[in-house]
Structure 1
């Protein structure tokens, strides 16, 4: 019998694998949280599928999302990234990744980990929205608005409420698998 999934992921096997193995599963390690933060910020204005299909290119180009290395990227590295056809070559987004890596480490210093900071907005427990259909899944919430505002106040870039809500879904802070999805069962 065919598995019933959230309809958004039926495009191909890459999307199905991401849906089945990652999306909505709680992530507490800073490295993975950072990776998704960067990928989601690059996704702003684009489809998630575009980013997902370039994910391995992003990993190689951005030193496997090593935020300590990324925080110190030189002009030469920025130029290298701007010439990398395997990623999204948006200079503002590339510069934002450097700033976000720096700010990420500042949050780690203040809170002990970025995970503790971001999960603190929801008391460390995933929110289960129990949507019946995809149309029941919001693009933003009050919590994503709050996190977005706080990140922006801390100097993060490309972290609007929609980006943050997508990040919350990707890292399992929110479970938006629809009622009929096999993951929910």
Structure 2
């Protein structure tokens, strides 16, 4: 595997081919599918304190464990479903993170009173426009912003859990609301 142009071996996307492919073809690309958006949020929650590579390797299994990221299905789940997930080898066995996944589904369903769907809600923070920061080096990419602080506060007020400014910033990058691709790495 070659390093991305004008980046070093320590850059996260250069750790292996899986991360490099994710960086080049998925991360920072605008997403509007509600299931994908909920899935990315839950995966960001699951990755807190861990690493994204581990979560990315489990992406398909997590999608299956969480009913294809169908918010209505997950929102209706109860204790038996919680217990099932706590023993599922593809899921991070953390009570708070699984509870946060259920809360995210419930909050997503509740959004429809004010927003069309999760896509409408997530993109409303930027009036539907992608923020392109054009960093030229990895150290120019922040881990949070005024936008992620604002959105995290709003999300918490709507019942989402485990959504601090750093997790929300990572989520916005994964969802393509923010594009922090290093300019020279894409040449």
Whether TM exceeds 0.5 here: the answer is: yes
Which residue number corresponds to residue 54 of structure 2? 50
Number of equivalent positions = 183
Alpha-carbon spacing, 1:5–1:170, altered in 2? closer, same or farther (3 Å): farther
User: What is the Cα deviation at residue 108 of structure 1?
Assistant: 2.6
Is the counterpart of residue 130 in structure 1 residue 131 in structure 2? no
Which residue number corresponds to residue 65 of structure 1? 69
Alpha-carbon spacing, 1:17–1:8, altered in 2? closer, same or farther (3 Å): same
User: What is the Cα deviation at residue 125 of structure 1?
Assistant: 0.8
What CA distance in whole angstroms lies between the structure 2 residues aligned with 1:118 and 1:81? 27
- Superposition map of 1:77-88 within 5 A: 77-88=81-92
Is the counterpart of residue 92 in structure 1 residue 121 in structure 2? no
What CA distance in whole angstroms lies between the structure 2 residues aligned with 1:173 and 1:12? 25
Is the counterpart of residue 112 in structure 1 residue 113 in structure 2? no
Gaps of 5+ in 1: none
Instruction: Describe the SS at the equivalent of 2:135.
Output: coil
Higher deviation after alignment, 60-69 or 147-156: 60-69
Which residue number corresponds to residue 4 of structure 1? 5
Is the counterpart of residue 174 in structure 1 residue 178 in structure 2? yes
Structure 1 ranges of 4+ moved more than 3 A: none
What CA distance in whole angstroms lies between the structure 1 residues aligned with 2:5 and 2:113? 43
TM-score, normalised to structure 1, is: 0.93
User: What is the Cα deviation at residue 143 of structure 1?
Assistant: 0.4
CA RMSD of aligned residues (A): 1.6
Instruction: Describe the SS at the equivalent of 1:51.
Output: helix
1:96-117 deviation digits (Å, cap 9, x = unpaired): 1111101101113311122111
